[in-house]
Structures are given as C-alpha cells and as structure tokens.
Amino acid sequence: MTGASVRYASRRTAKARSSEASRPAARLRKPKVPLAPYLYILPSILLFGLFVFYPFIKTLSLSFFATDQGGAAGLWVGLDNYKNLVSSRDFLMSLRVTLEFAVKVVAGSMLLGFVTAILANEAVPMRSLFRTVYAMPLAVSSACITVICIFILNPTMGILNFLLGSQTRWLNDVNTALNSVAAVTIWLYIGINYIFIIAALQMVDATLYESAAIDGAGFFRKHIHITLPGISPTLFFLMIVNVLNSFQSYAQVNLMTQGGPGKFTRVIVYQIYLEAFQYNRFGAAAAQSVVLFLIMLALTLMQFRLERKVSY
C-alpha cells in the first residue's frame, strides 16, 4: 500500500508538474514573443519579396529557358543562353564598351567632384552659391541633361562646335560618341561626388595642414600627402557607388546614340533592353542580367579588397 501510494504520489507530482507549466500563472514568467515588430516589418518584407527576391529568382530561372513573346518560359535550354553569351560578339562588345565607359565616368566624376570640393572648401565670397551649384547636378535627371546636350552637341546648330570652331559630329563619330555619352554622365555624377568629398574634407584634421604649412608645403603637395590619404575611405565608397551607377546607365544611351554608331556606345543595360524588347529573347536577356549582376558583385568585392590593402 505504501509502495503504491508512493508511486502514485510521484506520478501525481510529475503530472502536476507538467500541468503546472501550462497553467496561466506560470506562462507569465516565460518571455512573450512580441507580435508588433513582425507586423511593422511585414509590409517591407512583402514588397521586397514580390519586387526584389521573386524577380531575382525568376531572372535566374528564366535564363535557362528560351521564351515566347509573353515572357513565359517556353523551352528548357539549360546553359545554352550562357554559352551563346560567351561566343556572342555583341555581348562581348557591350562588355568592353561598358568597361571603358565606366572607367572614364568614374575617373572624370571623381576628379571633378574632388576639384569642386577643394574649391568650395576655401573661404571665398559667394561660397554658398558655389556650393549650391556644385551639388545641383544631383537634382537634374539623366533625360533632361541628355536632351540639352543633344542640342549643344548638334554639329551644325550646336553651340559647342561654334565655340570650338569645329565640325565634329560628336554623336555620330566612332571616336567621339562614347566620350560624349561619358561626358554627360560625368556631369550627372559631379553632384554626389562633390557632396561626399567636401564633407570628408571638413573632417580632415586641421592641425595636419598647419604643420605642413610650417614645413613649407605648397598647395599641391599638401593635398597629395594629407588630403588624399585623409579622405581615402570616402573615395573608395564613392568609387563603388560610381561604378555601380555607371553600369546601370540607360537614358543617355537611349536618347543620344541608341547604342550607335554601329555598336560603339551599346552598354550592357542597353544590350539587355534590346535583347528583351526588340528581339523578344527574354531568356537571353535574363542570362545577360545575371552576368551583369555577377560582374557588379565581383567589382564591388574587388574594391573592398583593395580598400583593405590601401586604406589607413
């Protein structure tokens, strides 16, 4: 009897223990999982899911198909789209064009951003007006400045040829077309480069400049040895931003040259657009989009590596 009651007692205790854990009083001691934060991030998650993650996966999957005109995946072709890219002279050409374009744009816009930042950092009269002007390209759209420049670059009526006394057909000549598109793009990027560089300039330790002045360093020397290293993190950040932006350029090419003359200004994004909407080959265009993404990822990673090696 005693043994059974002991067993019964211990069984009851165990059962009582487990039921105690589920009684309301005990639950209050466990931390509640809050519902509210999940609700707050839900709209963003849904929108990202539909317009970022889903299309990313769809692009990947589409690149393995040949599609019909509605964009629906028609025929599985495996890696054929990618194989065709490697041998496609059009695509390889657009890679070369884009690379050359990016190098010119990044170099030009960072140089001009640096120059305007240095100029606007000095104490001169009307400085706030200058500062506004230097940042203003940020407000102007690529379509607007492109259309204005189309007129300025007009061979017969344009003001540039008049000022230079030349007859150059800027947008039609194989030698000048890409440079013209690059120049317009550089103008567009001056604003953002200026804004970040001048902010970085103002964080450079002023005492460094003072000791340089005592040592007799001139204008150029002090900037090469103090300023450039001092703002190098910002310069690396800007380099990445400029490269990514230039790889996504579209409006300038679409309005100024339509990829011409020949294919000399056909940048990757324009090539993708043609592939999809003119040749109706969404599968091939998707493959090119994937390659574009990989290239941009690689360039970004390379720049991070470089920064780690060079930065102070």
Shortest Å, Cβ 89 to another protein: 22
Asked if residue 148 lies in contact with residue 232, where contact means CB atoms within 8 angstroms, the answer is no
CB atoms under 10 Å from CB of 118, counted, come to 15
- Total residues interacting with another protein, rule: CB under 8 A: 91
Closest to another protein by CB, 18 vs 278, is: 278
Asked if residue 216 lies in contact with residue 257, where contact means CB atoms within 8 angstroms, the answer is no
Is 234 a binder of another protein (CB under 8 A)? yes
Shortest Å, Cβ 104 to another protein: 18
Using CB under 8 A, which of 14, 21, 45, 302 touches another protein?
Answer: 45
| Contact range with another protein by CB under 8 A, out of 20-28, 92-100, 101-109, 241-249 | 241-249
Is 54 a binder of another protein (CB under 8 A)? yes
What beta strand segments (E) does 71-215 contain? 73-76
Shortest Å, Cβ 219 to another protein: 9
Residues 2 to 31: which contact another protein by CB under 8 A?
Answer: none
Closest to another protein by CB, 8 vs 155, is: 155
Shortest Å, Cβ 51 to another protein: 4
Is 299 a binder of another protein (CB under 8 A)? no
Shortest Å, Cβ 24 to another protein: 22
Is 95 a binder of another protein (CB under 8 A)? no
Q: What's at 51, amino acid-wise? A: F
With residue 199 as reference, give the H or E element that holds it. helix 177-201
Is 64 a binder of another protein (CB under 8 A)? no
Is 235 a binder of another protein (CB under 8 A)? no
Q: What are phi and psi of 108, to 5 degrees?
A: -65, -45
Is 251 a binder of another protein (CB under 8 A)? yes
Q: What are phi and psi of 74, to 5 degrees?
A: -100, -70
- Nearest CA among 94, 87, 84, 98 for reference residue 281: 84
- Residue 170 contacts by C-beta under 8 Å, 6 or more apart in sequence? 153, 155, 158, 160, 176, 177, 180
Is 274 a binder of another protein (CB under 8 A)? no
Using CB under 8 A, which of 3, 43, 78, 218 touches another protein?
Answer: 43
Is 201 a binder of another protein (CB under 8 A)? no
Residues 177 to 196: which contact another protein by CB under 8 A?
Answer: 187, 190, 192, 195-196
Closest to another protein by CB, 37 vs 216, is: 37
Asked if residue 238 lies in contact with residue 109, where contact means CB atoms within 8 angstroms, the answer is no
Closest to another protein by CB, 5 vs 202, is: 202
Is 76 a binder of another protein (CB under 8 A)? no
CB atoms under 10 Å from CB of 100, counted, come to 15
Q: What's at 290, amino acid-wise? A: V
Tokens of 214: 């005592």
Tokens 């804004």 sit at which residue? Answer: 195
Residues 253 to 272: which contact another protein by CB under 8 A?
Answer: 254-255, 269, 272
- Residue 185's Cβ-count burial label (10 Å; 0-12, 13-18, 19+) is buried
Residues 127 to 166: which contact another protein by CB under 8 A?
Answer: 127, 129-130, 132-145, 147-152, 157-159, 162
